[in-house]
Amino acid sequence: MKYVLKKLVTMIITVVLVTFFVFLAFNLISGDPATSALGTEATPERLAAYRTQMGLDDPVVVQYLRWGGNFLTGDMGTSYSYRMSVSSMISEKIPVTLIMAVMSFLIMIVVAIPIGIYTAEHKDGVLDRIITVINQVVMAIPPFFSGILITLLFGQIFKLFTPGKYISYQDDFGGFLGYMFFPALAIALPKITMAVKLLRTSVLKEVKNDYVRTAYSKGNSSRQVLYGHVLKNAFLPVITFLGMCLTDMIAGSIIVEQVFSVPGLGRILLTSISNRDYPVVMAIIVIIACLVLLVNMLVDVLYGFIDPRITPDD
């Protein structure tokens, strides 16, 4: 309990620091939200009036505290460029990005874990070597490029989905999942290769331990040794990696959303940054930071369950 509390306090401090520095960064870089909201033709009087209305003339700290206070009461502010409330702008986008990240995470687990175990079990077999070579190649392909390849292969040649024709989850949830599978796959691919490699190495390293031989000499079959003794220990480094992947997938969806024209958080984040639309950017960053921290905390807790060596006091 004390452990969770401690983690929670750390989380809050982290979120405050992250948001403050992002806020600060926006004030340091060039660009004026008033100009981007009203256009370059706007008169100086109108710009000044807009600035006063939005509170842009106040010192940074005051602006930050005002934003923070509002945020805590559930008011994420009003977008400078769209003149609508931030919460209504992003509330529809969050599920899109989140579902995409979770999907690619599931794809990664479903694909990587069996392959990793198989290649470790059949080390130096024909299939192991083929997979190792393919792995190296795929690992070198960045998600946006594999996204293009997937569009070409599954969209144009096999016609499994229509590229660019995004299906909203409010209209047709099944169709939405069908469409989202492909960007999720693009995000998952490089992670799959890393997870396979990591799991394979981890299992092979674990197998070298003497307790594995002891387990054999007790009369365990090789399956029993692998599933009963080795995997639990071999999974430890992999779980850390998987946790990192999930956070990476949330953040990494930004570019892939562009490739597949998915209207998620990534897209709106990009436009808002170029428009100097602080309230929107800040809200998205808070959400992403919270998600990342939350996932990290889950991984820590999971670690405690799977590995008795780590007690929550450590």
**215 in contact with other proteins (CB under 8 A):** yes
One-letter amino acid for residue 243 of the chain: G
Q: Which of 66/218 has CB closer to other proteins?
A: 218
**210 in contact with other proteins (CB under 8 A):** yes
Q: Which of 131/180 has CB closer to other proteins?
A: 131
Using DSSP, how many helices (H) and how many strands (E) does the chain show?
14, 0
**123 in contact with other proteins (CB under 8 A):** no
| DSSP string across 193-253 | HHHHHHHHHHHHHHHTSHHHHHHHHTT--HHHIIIIIIHHHHHHHHHHHHHHHHHHHHHHH
**307 in contact with other proteins (CB under 8 A):** yes
Show contacts with other proteins in window 142-201 (CB under 8 A). Answer: none
Q: Which of 2/208 has CB closer to other proteins?
A: 208
Closest CA to 101 of 288, 284, 303: 288
Q: How far apart are the first and last CA of the chain?
A: 14
**Which residue of 10, 209, 222, 274 would you call a contact of other proteins, by CB under 8 A?**
209
**Which residue of 134, 211, 274, 294 would you call a contact of other proteins, by CB under 8 A?**
211
Residue pair 292/286 in contact by the 8 Å Cβ criterion: no
DSSP state of 56: T
**Which residue of 14, 78, 87, 220 would you call a contact of other proteins, by CB under 8 A?**
220
Helical (H) or strand (E) element with 299: helix 278-306
Half-sphere exposure of 313 (CA within 13 A, CB side): 0
> Measured from the CB of residue 129, what is the shortest distance to other proteins in angstroms?
5
> Measured from the CB of residue 113, what is the shortest distance to other proteins in angstroms?
18
Q: Which of 54/231 has CB closer to other proteins?
A: 231
**136 in contact with other proteins (CB under 8 A):** no
Q: Which of 69/228 has CB closer to other proteins?
A: 228
**218 in contact with other proteins (CB under 8 A):** yes
Instruction: Read off the tokens for 289.
Output: 């930071």
**Which residue of 85, 87, 132, 258 would you call a contact of other proteins, by CB under 8 A?**
132
Residue pair 195/108 in contact by the 8 Å Cβ criterion: yes
Residues at the contact surface with other proteins, assessed by CB under 8 A: 124, 129, 132, 208-211, 213-215, 217-220, 224, 229, 232-233, 306-309
